[in-house]
Amino acid sequence: MISYHLSEGLRNISRNKLLTLTAIFTISVSMMIFGIFLILFLNLNLLHEGWGERIQITVYLKDDTDKDGLIKEIKKEKEVAEVIYTSKEKALAEFRKELGREKEVLDSIGENPLPASLDVSVKKEYRSSEFIEPLVETIKMLSGVEEVHYGEEWVKDLTSLLKGLRVTGLFLGSLLALGIIFITSNTIRLTLYARQEEIEIMKFIGATKGFIRGPFLVEGALQGFGAGVLSVLLLYLFYSIAAYGIDFRLPGFNPGFLALSALIPIPLSGFLLGLLGSLFSMGRFLK
Protein backbone atom coordinates (compact mmCIF):
# COMPACT_ATOMS: atom_id res chain seq x y z
CA MET A 1 0.00 0.00 0.00
CA ILE A 2 2.77 2.44 0.94
CA SER A 3 4.69 1.52 -2.20
CA TYR A 4 1.58 2.16 -4.33
CA HIS A 5 0.88 5.55 -2.72
CA LEU A 6 4.50 6.61 -3.15
CA SER A 7 4.72 5.53 -6.79
CA GLU A 8 1.37 7.15 -7.62
CA GLY A 9 2.38 10.36 -5.85
CA LEU A 10 5.59 10.52 -7.87
CA ARG A 11 3.60 9.77 -11.03
CA ASN A 12 1.27 12.69 -10.23
CA ILE A 13 4.29 14.97 -9.89
CA SER A 14 5.72 13.67 -13.18
CA ARG A 15 2.41 14.29 -14.99
CA ASN A 16 2.23 17.89 -13.80
CA LYS A 17 5.88 18.95 -13.90
CA LEU A 18 5.28 22.64 -14.63
CA LEU A 19 2.53 23.01 -12.03
CA THR A 20 4.59 21.14 -9.42
CA LEU A 21 7.76 23.14 -10.10
CA THR A 22 5.80 26.40 -9.90
CA ALA A 23 4.30 25.35 -6.57
CA ILE A 24 7.68 24.23 -5.18
CA PHE A 25 9.36 27.48 -6.21
CA THR A 26 6.53 29.63 -4.80
CA ILE A 27 6.55 27.74 -1.51
CA SER A 28 10.36 27.86 -1.31
CA VAL A 29 10.29 31.66 -1.74
CA SER A 30 7.81 31.91 1.15
CA MET A 31 9.98 29.70 3.34
CA MET A 32 13.10 31.61 2.32
CA ILE A 33 11.51 34.89 3.45
CA PHE A 34 10.98 33.38 6.87
CA GLY A 35 14.52 31.96 6.79
CA ILE A 36 15.93 35.43 6.08
CA PHE A 37 13.99 36.69 9.08
CA LEU A 38 15.48 33.89 11.22
CA ILE A 39 19.03 34.76 10.10
CA LEU A 40 18.40 38.43 10.87
CA PHE A 41 17.02 37.56 14.31
CA LEU A 42 19.90 35.15 15.01
CA ASN A 43 22.56 37.72 14.16
CA LEU A 44 20.86 40.52 16.08
CA ASN A 45 20.67 38.19 19.06
CA LEU A 46 24.39 37.41 18.66
CA LEU A 47 25.05 41.14 18.45
CA HIS A 48 23.02 41.67 21.62
CA GLU A 49 24.93 38.93 23.44
CA GLY A 50 28.31 40.16 22.16
CA TRP A 51 27.68 43.74 23.14
CA GLY A 52 26.00 42.55 26.32
CA GLU A 53 29.36 41.27 27.51
CA ARG A 54 30.63 44.83 27.17
CA ILE A 55 27.79 46.33 29.21
CA GLN A 56 29.16 47.92 32.35
CA ILE A 57 27.51 50.20 34.83
CA THR A 58 29.99 52.90 35.83
CA VAL A 59 29.44 54.21 39.35
CA TYR A 60 31.23 57.50 40.19
CA LEU A 61 31.99 57.90 43.89
CA LYS A 62 31.96 60.91 46.16
CA ASP A 63 35.20 61.78 47.92
CA ASP A 64 35.84 59.90 51.18
CA THR A 65 33.35 57.16 50.29
CA ASP A 66 33.71 53.81 52.06
CA LYS A 67 34.44 51.89 48.86
CA ASP A 68 34.64 48.48 50.55
CA GLY A 69 31.24 48.91 52.17
CA LEU A 70 29.73 50.17 48.90
CA ILE A 71 31.18 47.27 46.90
CA LYS A 72 29.74 44.86 49.47
CA GLU A 73 26.28 46.45 49.12
CA ILE A 74 26.37 46.33 45.30
CA LYS A 75 27.47 42.69 45.24
CA LYS A 76 24.34 41.76 47.20
CA GLU A 77 22.24 42.43 44.08
CA LYS A 78 21.46 39.23 42.15
CA GLU A 79 22.18 40.88 38.76
CA VAL A 80 25.80 41.77 39.63
CA ALA A 81 28.61 39.55 38.33
CA GLU A 82 31.69 41.58 39.29
CA VAL A 83 32.68 44.96 40.73
CA ILE A 84 36.05 46.53 39.89
CA TYR A 85 37.35 49.61 41.74
CA THR A 86 39.31 52.36 39.96
CA SER A 87 40.99 54.92 42.20
CA LYS A 88 41.27 58.63 41.42
CA GLU A 89 44.98 58.18 40.72
CA LYS A 90 44.48 55.26 38.34
CA ALA A 91 41.68 57.12 36.52
CA LEU A 92 43.99 60.11 36.03
CA ALA A 93 46.83 57.89 34.78
CA GLU A 94 44.53 56.20 32.25
CA PHE A 95 43.19 59.59 31.14
CA ARG A 96 46.73 60.87 30.62
CA LYS A 97 47.48 57.81 28.48
CA GLU A 98 44.39 58.45 26.33
CA LEU A 99 45.30 62.12 25.84
CA GLY A 100 48.74 61.22 24.50
CA ARG A 101 50.59 64.38 23.46
CA GLU A 102 47.91 66.58 25.00
CA LYS A 103 48.46 65.21 28.52
CA GLU A 104 50.33 68.40 29.54
CA VAL A 105 46.94 70.11 29.72
CA LEU A 106 46.25 68.21 32.93
CA ASP A 107 49.36 69.63 34.60
CA SER A 108 47.86 73.12 34.57
CA ILE A 109 44.77 71.92 36.44
CA GLY A 110 46.65 71.02 39.59
CA GLU A 111 44.33 68.91 41.75
CA ASN A 112 43.06 65.62 40.32
CA PRO A 113 39.54 66.40 38.97
CA LEU A 114 38.57 62.79 38.28
CA PRO A 115 36.47 60.80 40.76
CA ALA A 116 37.07 57.24 41.86
CA SER A 117 34.69 54.79 40.24
CA LEU A 118 33.31 51.27 40.25
CA ASP A 119 32.78 49.21 37.07
CA VAL A 120 29.82 46.90 37.68
CA SER A 121 29.49 43.90 35.32
CA VAL A 122 26.04 42.35 34.88
CA LYS A 123 25.33 38.60 34.69
CA LYS A 124 24.41 37.30 31.22
CA GLU A 125 20.78 36.49 32.05
CA TYR A 126 20.16 40.06 33.27
CA ARG A 127 21.65 42.01 30.34
CA SER A 128 18.48 43.76 29.23
CA SER A 129 16.90 47.10 30.08
CA GLU A 130 14.15 45.51 32.21
CA PHE A 131 16.80 44.28 34.70
CA ILE A 132 19.55 46.89 34.28
CA GLU A 133 17.35 49.96 34.86
CA PRO A 134 16.06 48.83 38.30
CA LEU A 135 19.64 47.87 39.26
CA VAL A 136 20.89 51.34 38.27
CA GLU A 137 18.14 52.99 40.32
CA THR A 138 19.06 50.83 43.33
CA ILE A 139 22.76 51.74 43.04
CA LYS A 140 21.91 55.45 42.75
CA MET A 141 20.22 55.30 46.15
CA LEU A 142 23.32 53.91 47.89
CA SER A 143 25.39 56.14 50.16
CA GLY A 144 28.52 57.59 48.57
CA VAL A 145 27.32 57.39 44.96
CA GLU A 146 27.74 60.59 42.94
CA GLU A 147 26.55 59.48 39.48
CA VAL A 148 25.73 56.27 37.59
CA HIS A 149 26.24 55.88 33.84
CA TYR A 150 25.61 53.09 31.32
CA GLY A 151 24.66 52.86 27.64
CA GLU A 152 20.93 53.01 28.37
CA GLU A 153 19.80 54.18 24.95
CA TRP A 154 21.26 51.40 22.84
CA VAL A 155 20.41 48.76 25.47
CA LYS A 156 16.76 49.89 25.34
CA ASP A 157 16.72 50.09 21.56
CA LEU A 158 18.29 46.67 20.99
CA THR A 159 16.10 44.97 23.61
CA SER A 160 12.97 46.55 22.10
CA LEU A 161 14.06 45.53 18.61
CA LEU A 162 14.55 41.90 19.64
CA LYS A 163 11.14 41.81 21.34
CA GLY A 164 9.55 43.33 18.24
CA LEU A 165 11.26 40.76 16.01
CA ARG A 166 9.94 37.89 18.14
CA VAL A 167 6.35 39.14 17.77
CA THR A 168 6.84 39.85 14.06
CA GLY A 169 8.35 36.39 13.60
CA LEU A 170 5.30 34.68 15.10
CA PHE A 171 2.97 36.72 12.92
CA LEU A 172 5.06 36.28 9.76
CA GLY A 173 5.54 32.55 10.38
CA SER A 174 1.79 32.02 10.84
CA LEU A 175 0.99 34.03 7.72
CA LEU A 176 3.52 32.17 5.57
CA ALA A 177 2.35 28.80 6.93
CA LEU A 178 -1.22 29.60 5.86
CA GLY A 179 0.11 30.72 2.47
CA ILE A 180 2.00 27.43 2.00
CA ILE A 181 -1.10 25.40 2.94
CA PHE A 182 -3.15 27.48 0.48
CA ILE A 183 -0.65 27.00 -2.39
CA THR A 184 -0.34 23.24 -1.79
CA SER A 185 -4.10 22.87 -1.45
CA ASN A 186 -4.78 24.61 -4.75
CA THR A 187 -2.05 22.68 -6.56
CA ILE A 188 -3.48 19.36 -5.37
CA ARG A 189 -6.99 20.53 -6.23
CA LEU A 190 -5.96 21.17 -9.84
CA THR A 191 -4.52 17.64 -10.00
CA LEU A 192 -7.76 16.29 -8.55
CA TYR A 193 -9.85 18.05 -11.16
CA ALA A 194 -7.60 16.71 -13.92
CA ARG A 195 -8.12 13.15 -12.61
CA GLN A 196 -11.75 13.52 -11.57
CA GLU A 197 -13.07 10.79 -13.88
CA GLU A 198 -10.39 8.35 -12.72
CA ILE A 199 -11.25 9.07 -9.08
CA GLU A 200 -14.98 8.56 -9.74
CA ILE A 201 -14.24 5.16 -11.28
CA MET A 202 -12.10 4.20 -8.28
CA LYS A 203 -14.93 5.20 -5.93
CA PHE A 204 -17.41 3.24 -8.08
CA ILE A 205 -15.39 0.01 -7.84
CA GLY A 206 -15.14 0.35 -4.06
CA ALA A 207 -11.84 2.16 -3.40
CA THR A 208 -11.79 3.72 0.09
CA LYS A 209 -11.21 7.42 0.68
CA GLY A 210 -7.91 6.57 2.36
CA PHE A 211 -6.75 4.63 -0.71
CA ILE A 212 -7.66 7.55 -3.01
CA ARG A 213 -6.12 10.16 -0.70
CA GLY A 214 -2.77 8.40 -0.30
CA PRO A 215 -1.00 9.43 -3.55
CA PHE A 216 -2.20 13.03 -3.25
CA LEU A 217 -0.99 13.26 0.34
CA VAL A 218 2.40 11.97 -0.84
CA GLU A 219 2.40 14.53 -3.64
CA GLY A 220 1.69 17.43 -1.29
CA ALA A 221 4.21 16.27 1.30
CA LEU A 222 6.94 15.86 -1.33
CA GLN A 223 6.19 19.30 -2.75
CA GLY A 224 6.53 20.86 0.70
CA PHE A 225 9.70 18.92 1.50
CA GLY A 226 11.28 19.78 -1.87
CA ALA A 227 10.40 23.44 -1.37
CA GLY A 228 12.00 23.34 2.10
CA VAL A 229 15.24 21.87 0.75
CA LEU A 230 15.31 24.43 -2.10
CA SER A 231 14.69 27.31 0.33
CA VAL A 232 17.67 26.20 2.48
CA LEU A 233 19.93 26.12 -0.61
CA LEU A 234 18.71 29.56 -1.73
CA LEU A 235 19.16 30.94 1.77
CA TYR A 236 22.77 29.75 1.89
CA LEU A 237 23.42 31.16 -1.60
CA PHE A 238 22.06 34.61 -0.74
CA TYR A 239 23.79 34.62 2.65
CA SER A 240 27.13 33.77 1.01
CA ILE A 241 26.70 36.60 -1.51
CA ALA A 242 25.74 39.07 1.23
CA ALA A 243 28.59 37.96 3.51
CA TYR A 244 31.08 38.34 0.65
CA GLY A 245 29.84 41.75 -0.44
CA ILE A 246 29.27 43.43 2.93
CA ASP A 247 31.72 44.06 5.74
CA PHE A 248 29.96 42.63 8.78
CA ARG A 249 32.82 43.21 11.20
CA LEU A 250 31.53 44.97 14.28
CA PRO A 251 33.05 44.96 17.77
CA GLY A 252 32.13 41.74 19.59
CA PHE A 253 30.09 40.45 16.65
CA ASN A 254 30.75 37.51 14.32
CA PRO A 255 27.76 36.93 12.02
CA GLY A 256 26.67 33.39 11.28
CA PHE A 257 24.32 31.26 9.20
CA LEU A 258 21.56 29.16 10.76
CA ALA A 259 22.75 26.17 12.78
CA LEU A 260 21.89 22.65 11.64
CA SER A 261 19.31 22.41 14.44
CA ALA A 262 17.51 25.42 12.89
CA LEU A 263 17.92 24.25 9.26
CA ILE A 264 16.50 20.72 9.64
CA PRO A 265 13.02 21.94 10.75
CA ILE A 266 12.63 23.98 7.53
CA PRO A 267 12.18 21.01 5.12
CA LEU A 268 10.33 19.09 7.84
CA SER A 269 7.88 21.97 8.32
CA GLY A 270 7.49 22.10 4.52
CA PHE A 271 6.67 18.39 4.57
CA LEU A 272 4.02 18.85 7.27
CA LEU A 273 2.50 21.97 5.72
CA GLY A 274 2.34 20.25 2.32
CA LEU A 275 0.60 17.31 3.98
CA LEU A 276 -1.89 19.66 5.68
CA GLY A 277 -2.58 21.43 2.38
CA SER A 278 -3.29 18.09 0.71
CA LEU A 279 -5.54 16.97 3.57
CA PHE A 280 -7.48 20.23 3.37
CA SER A 281 -7.92 19.93 -0.39
CA MET A 282 -8.84 16.23 -0.29
CA GLY A 283 -11.26 16.78 2.59
CA ARG A 284 -13.25 19.26 0.52
CA PHE A 285 -13.04 17.26 -2.70
CA LEU A 286 -14.03 13.85 -1.30
CA LYS A 287 -17.01 15.00 0.78
Dump pLDDT digits (tens) for 199-245.
Answer: 677 777 776 777 777 787 888 888 889 888 999 999 888 888 776 65
**What's the pLDDT score for residue 124?**
78
d(CA 196, CA 191): 8
Residue 115 pLDDT > 80 = yes
Q: Which amino acid is at 229?
A: V
pLDDT of residue 185: 77
Nearest C-alpha neighbor of 137 from the set 126, 129, 148:
148
How many of the other CB atoms lie within 10 Å of CB of 274? 32
Share of the chain above pLDDT 90, in %: 2
pLDDT value, residue 229? 92
Torsion angles phi and psi, residue 148, rounded to 5: -130, 125
Give the pLDDT confidence score for residue 154 in this predicted structure: 64
**What is the pLDDT averaged over residues 94-121?**
71
* Alpha helices for 53-85 (secondary structure H): 67-75
Q: pLDDT tens digits, residue range 35-53?
A: 888 887 777 777 666 665 5
Domains annotated on the chain, with CATH: 2-50+156-285 (no CATH), 56-149 (3.30.70.3040)
pLDDT band with cut points at 50, 70 and 90 for residue 193: confident
Closest by CA position to 50, among listed 127, 118, 147: 127
Report which residue type is found at 165: L
Span 72-87, mean pLDDT? 89
Question: Residue 152 CB: number of other CB atoms within 10 A?
Answer: 13
Q: Which residues, 6 or more positions from 255, have their beta carbon under 8 angstroms from its beta carbon?
A: 43, 46, 243, 248
Predicted confidence at residue 183, as pLDDT, reads: 80
Provide the pairing of β-strand 145-149 with 117-122: unpaired
Look at residue 230 in the predicted model and tell me its pLDDT.
Answer: 92
Provide the terminal-to-terminal Cα distance of the chain, rounded to the nearest Å: 23
Say what the pLDDT of residue 16 is. Answer: 74
- Does residue 262 have a pLDDT over 70? yes
Closest CA to 188 of 276, 273, 286, 277: 277
Instruction: Quote the pTM value.
Output: 0.59
Which one has a higher pLDDT value, 98 or 76? 76
Taking CA atoms, 99 is separated from 92, 96, 104, 105, 106, in Å, by 10, 5, 9, 9, 9
Task: Tell me: pLDDT of 6 over 70.
Answer: yes
**103 pLDDT higher than 60:** no
